[in-house]
Structure 1
């Protein structure tokens, strides 16, 4: 009987050689702590509050009819879905053990939302170029942990691409400096 000269691969030598069960166990070990019932209720109430606020704003914009919709119709439908999901989560999701506990990393989505709102507020005043660069730098450099070289390079490319598409090619009325 002839033996091959290739050495057998020992399981676990490479990270890619993990079985699905081993990989699931590794993920379970690295998972952040579970949130409690109070955190689940709080997040459900936030979704519910945002949904109710959006329902009110969309009704104020006007709903119209399905055959002649007004600007508030689709936001109204999405808002109603948010309210329903918030209520469902508040009632049925109290014992959910899959939700993560609020940690310092929980502030990242809030930071992203605040910086996006700041960009929208600054665009009519100073154009989109500078706020877009700052937004990209914050999202990629601080929130994404990218290297500063790639952050600066990609931010410049993204803003230049948006300028080329929306200002030069499409001729939109987006506020811009140049």
Structure 2
């Protein structure tokens, strides 16, 4: 009854490795975490979220809202932006009670780079179509923000654009700017 089947040493090694990783995670205590920025950062974030929501509401309104029976182009963006504005106000109301905001770190630059590349994508899509900006965006996000290999990033970005083209242009006939 005490004999182990084939593959048992490998399973034991994997189990021991998993337990070692769990022990390392348990050792990393709160002292390893960055210092929280505190309520001032929470207030700043809440104000930014609220401002984005309010600007979105104004832009949505300018598209035309329509009625519930006959919604126009700005209806759903207005609903979403109104929800963002309300959530920003809720954040503002709870900003002084929470102090778990993380400090700005090197990883935070990836978020800013993601937002910046998305802004570049939006700026280019109307001018040269979605294929090239989409491929560039996918490549940059995979390679530089995600740390994937050059080959995987290049192949995946082309396949992603091909899939989006097939679905949105080919199957759904969505009127988006495209080259082909």
| TM-score (norm. length: structure 2) | 0.78
Distance 2:65 2:176 in 1: 27
Q: Answer yes or no: is the 8 Å Cα contact 1:39–1:101 preserved in 2.
A: no
Aligned length: 173
1:29-72 deviation line (CA, Å, top 9, x unaligned): 65443222221111111101111111222222222222222222
Residue 125 of structure 2: aligned partner: 123
Q: Secondary structure at the match of 2:107?
A: helix
Residue 158 of structure 1: aligned partner: 160
RMSD of aligned Cα (Å): 2.9
In structure 1, runs of 5+ residues without a counterpart are none
Residue 15 of structure 1: aligned partner: 18
Distance 2:147 2:55 in 1: 34
Q: Secondary structure at the match of 1:173?
A: coil
Q: Secondary structure at the match of 1:14?
A: helix
| Cα separation, partners in 2 of 1:176 and 1:59, compared to 1, 3 Å | closer
In structure 2, runs of 5+ residues without a counterpart are none
Distance 2:78 2:162 in 1: 35
Q: Answer yes or no: is the 8 Å Cα contact 2:38–2:100 preserved in 1.
A: no
| Cα separation, partners in 2 of 1:16 and 1:152, compared to 1, 3 Å | farther
Distance 1:81 1:172 in 2: 27
Task: Report 1:16-95 matches (<5 A).
Answer: 16=19, 23=25, 26=28, 28=30, 31-95=33-97
Distance 1:134 1:175 in 2: 16
Q: Secondary structure at the match of 2:16?
A: coil
